[in-house]
Amino acid sequence: MFVDEVNIRLKAGDGGNGCMSFRRVAHNPKGGPDGGNGGRGGDIILVCDPNTTDFTDYKFKPHATAANGVPGKGSDMDGANGPSLKLKMPPGTVVIDEETGETVLELIEYNKEYVLLKGGKGGLGNTTFKSSVNQAPRQYTPGIPGEEGTFKLVLKSIADVGLVGFPNAGKSTLISLLTGASPKTASYPFTTLQPTVAVVEYPETYERLTMADIPGLIEGAHENRGLGHRFLRHIERCHLLLLLIDMAGTDGRDPVEDYKQLMEELRLYDETMLDKPRLIVANKMDEPASPENLARFKKKVRRKVHELSCLSDNGLPELKELLRKHVLKGKK
């Protein structure tokens, strides 16, 4: 199960109540006030955890509450603060306030902690109100409730390369060859039902980049059709888009139309997608119809195309180097 969207209800801890108490000891019958202050309630803290991949834990446990502060006690004993509750979130998490619809947080930096809800302050004990004109105060204050709210968590995967294409274009096969990942591959569409983020290694230079395999799009994906509608957001943060085109024309598809439709779906979802660097890869070049289709594709599209055959591995080492050139060198 892959859960990339969930609603949760969170509440920070309440502050502990202040204490009203008077010292009663032998030989000191009028010892005065000694009520301590209440402790602060625990915060709700979100941690950007690189080892967390989705929101499965929160789907089955959508409510969480931090510990309350401990009430104050006599003998001037302040209550302990409630420990904060830290919730691990996958990198790329967007936190949206359900009530206002506003984005509250975006978790991008690994291992960074974000305070989402603050715990309530502890109440004041009656010792605090002691003065020269009020030597036996009976005032004390209750703890302040902690902040609470209902939030929608949305995951936008963080990857260097977003692998985009229509069903059966060969995305899962390509990512398995480049990264060693093992997504499901078969000769029917929609074998990929969830985004896969894997690592491309460059042992000779001790470098690596991440690649996200997005479930196959169809025409109208931006309008909630097919599987791709909810996964388009996973390529928003990619540095490079790799458009994989089935050059063999499998199932009667036209490579030129496939490319145009992919670009249109990206534009309709978010026009800024077209500003991202993109690499066009013509796959299945081992098929008989591919050379003719490629020639027509180049004439119509007029963009540089990298030729590839996942079946024979032809063009694979060159593609891997192209990715390094476009992504890793661009970061330096």
Mean pLDDT of 255-283: 88
The domains found in the chain, sorted by start residue, are 1-155 (2.70.210.12), 161-331 (3.40.50.300)
List CB contacts of 304: < 8 A, sequence separation 6 or more: 280
How high is the mean pLDDT of the chain? 85
Question: Which of 55-64, 75-84, 185-194, 310-319 is predicted with the least confidence, judged by mean pLDDT?
Answer: 185-194
Residue where the block lists tokens 């490579």: 255
Is the pLDDT at 66 greater than 60? The verdict is yes
User: Residue 151 and residue 277: Cα distance in Å, rounded?
Assistant: 33
> CB under 8 Å to 181, separation ≥6 — which residues?
175, 196, 198, 213
Residue 184 has a pLDDT of 45
Q: Compute the distance between CA of residue 63 and CA of residue 5 in angstroms, rounded to an integer.
A: 15
216, pLDDT greater than 60:
no
Residue 130 tokens, joined: 């002691």
State the amino acid at position 234 in one-letter form. Answer: H
Length of the chain equals: 332
Q: Which residue has the higher pLDDT, 166 or 247?
A: 247
Q: Does residue 224 surpass a pLDDT of 60?
A: no
Structure tokens at 229: 């509608």
Whole-model pTM: value is 0.74
Q: How far apart are CA 226 and CA 168, in angstroms?
A: 14
- What average pLDDT does the segment 142-161 reach? 91
The pLDDT confidence band at residue 186, using thresholds 50, 70 and 90, is very low
The average pLDDT across 193-201 equals 73
